[in-house]
């Protein structure tokens, strides 16, 4: 048997503890798969005395996580501290500089610093792996970077945040308002006390930036992700979508156009009969479309101790086997910045909801304003009675800048009694 592959784990929260459990439970199987024992040499966390439900007595302890990078008995550093900067970034940089492999679940770190870390890994001949950072236990990064490498990918999209999917699907199932479902998600532990990172779309945007770079061979560009959360989605929108045959999902989508890379995270309507539309609870799903393979759908648990730790250990096994490949599927020097698709160039049908004064000519005023901006109506429906009254319009294919201009114009009309809502309808 070859020399042991020795791990240093930084962060002993839910995921870090999950890694310890897998190594302790499946040590013999991991050794058989790696061709060498996989062992934990040292760990680090903020609180040494906390009971984590696992026996850590056999491992060296470092109060300063960055010291794992200089330990001679550590071959691979597992970073599950979190955060795009601070100790997580310092540890990754120092570990790679020391020639150690780095495995992380930290999508924020990779979304902000992936290019420079990939360059450092290649210079050191070390692996930088982050499968656990996107879609939890779903091996989607390996599938895209390796399994679909023969294809030119045309579009990558999916539900990348389980918290948002739980909220939206639970609103539909229970017919409860957003605030009530969010509170329940927090009680169940699906949402943080401050949920803005999830419901505001930032978490999904980090993951999408990573997917886009891997899928299209471009430099990672988190700042280029157009991001909108689910805070404005109402129960009325959920019910109307269902009535129209759609489900509302927070969708992350990346697509390469002739004029630039489109990256956006926004609530979208998708047909409820599709794999994305039928997705419920905290499950994630990613769809990758290639020119030779067609459409591939990957679904599974997007977070949690077991799924995330499983993805980390899978990356560890590759490193233990000596498999060192470029972090983004091609040498870092070959990753080129992609021009960003200009705002307004994206186009699709849209769902528009207006709250209109119940007076003669209101619908005509809305139709006229849409027509002036070049937006064509596919179907229109008034829901309920009262004053104001909700009116829903599904447009034909329209450019986003035309939709924005029409919505701005209509919001200033006397008949408009509340800010209009525009939701993209995406073919999924």
Retrieve residue 366's tokens: 């809305």
Cis, bond preceding 388 (omega within 30 deg of 0)? yes
C-alpha span between 132 and 110 (Å, rounded): 11
> From start to end of 13-152, where are the E strands?
38-44, 60-61, 76-79, 101-104, 128-129
373-409 in b/e burial notation, b at 16+ Cβ within 10 A? bebeeeeeeeeeeeebbbbbbbbeebbbbbbebbbeb
Q: Residues 107, 142, 207, 373: which is the catalytic one?
A: 207
C-alpha span between 182 and 171 (Å, rounded): 9
Q: Are the C-beta atoms of residues 230 and 312 closer than 8 Å to each other?
A: no
Measuring CA to CA, how many Å separate 327 from each of 22, 123, 286?
Answer: 24, 12, 19
Q: Has 373 been annotated as catalytic? A: no
**Neighbouring residues of 9: CB distance < 8 A, sequence distance ≥ 6:** 16, 19, 20, 40, 42, 43, 44, 78, 80
Retrieve residue 259's tokens: 């004029």
Q: How far is CA 300 from the centre of its chain?
A: 13
Which of 64, 55, 71 lies closest to 8, judged by CA?
Answer: 71
97's torsion region: left (phi>0), alpha (psi -120 to 50) or beta? alpha
Q: Are the C-beta atoms of residues 382 and 390 closer than 8 Å to each other?
A: yes
Q: By three-state DSSP, how is residue 31 classified?
A: helix
| C-beta neighbour count of 420 within 10 angstroms | 21
- Work out the burial of residue 15: count CB atoms within 10 Å of its CB; fewer than 13 is exposed, 13-18 middle, 19 or more buried: buried
Which of 87, 86, 88 lies closest to 106, judged by CA?
Answer: 88
**Neighbouring residues of 286: CB distance < 8 A, sequence distance ≥ 6:** 134, 135, 138, 140, 156, 157, 158, 160, 211, 297, 298, 299
Retrieve residue 420's tokens: 């209009």
Helix (H), strand (E) at residue 348 = strand 347-348
- Enumerate the active-site residues: 207
């Amino acid at each position: 048997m070859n020399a042991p592959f020795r791990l240093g784990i930084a962060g002993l929260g839910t995921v870090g503890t999950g890694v310890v459990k897998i190594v302790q439970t499946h040590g013999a199987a991991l050794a058989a798969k790696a061709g060498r024992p996989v062992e934990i040499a040292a760990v680090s966390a903020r609180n040494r005395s906390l009971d984590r439900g696992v026996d850590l007595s056999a491992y060296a302890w470092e109060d300063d996580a960055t010291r794992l990078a200089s330990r001679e008995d550590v071959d691979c550093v597992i970073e599950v501290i979190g955060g795009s900067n601070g100790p997580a970034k310092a540890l990754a940089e120092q570990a790679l500089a020391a020639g150690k492999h780095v495995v992380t679940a930290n999508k924020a770190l990779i979304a902000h610093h992936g290019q420079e870390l990939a360059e450092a890994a290649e210079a050191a001949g070390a692996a930088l792996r982050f499968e656990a950072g996107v879609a939890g236990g779903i091996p989607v990064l390996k599938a895209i970077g390796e399994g679909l490498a023969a294809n030119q990918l045309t579009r990558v999209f999916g539900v990348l945040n389980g918290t948002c999917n739980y909220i939206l699907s639970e609103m539909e199932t229970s017919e409860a308002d957003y605030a009530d479902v969010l509170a329940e998600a927090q009680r169940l532990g699906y949402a943080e006390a401050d949920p803005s990172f999830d419901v505001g779309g930032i978490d999904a945007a980090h993951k999408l930036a990573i997917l886009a770079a891997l899928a299209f061979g471009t430099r990672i560009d988190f700042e280029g992700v157009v991001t909108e959360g689910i805070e404005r989605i109402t129960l009325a929108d959920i019910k109307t979508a269902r009535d129209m045959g759609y489900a509302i999902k927070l969708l992350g989508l990346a697509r390469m156009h002739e004029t630039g890379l489109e990256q956006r995270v926004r609530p979208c309507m998708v047909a409820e009969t599709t794999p994305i539309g039928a997705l419920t609870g905290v499950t994630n799903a990613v769809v990758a479309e290639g020119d030779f393979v067609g459409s591939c759908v990957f679904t599974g648990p997007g977070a949690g101790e077991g799924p995330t730790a499983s993805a980390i250990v899978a990356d560890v096994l590759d490193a233990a086997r000596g498999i060192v490949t470029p972090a983004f599927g091609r040498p870092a020097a070959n990753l080129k910045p992609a021009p960003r698709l200009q705002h307004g160039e994206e186009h699709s049908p849209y769902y528009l909801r207006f709250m209109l004064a119940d007076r003669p000519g209101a619908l005509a005023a809305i139709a006229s304003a849409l027509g002036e901006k070049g937006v064509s109506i596919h179907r229109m429906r008034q829901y309920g009675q009262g004053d104001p009254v909700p009116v829903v319009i599904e447009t034909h294919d329209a450019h986003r800048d035309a939709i924005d201009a029409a919505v701005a114009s209509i919001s200033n009309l006397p008949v408009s009694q509340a800010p209009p809502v525009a939701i993209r309808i995406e073919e999924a």
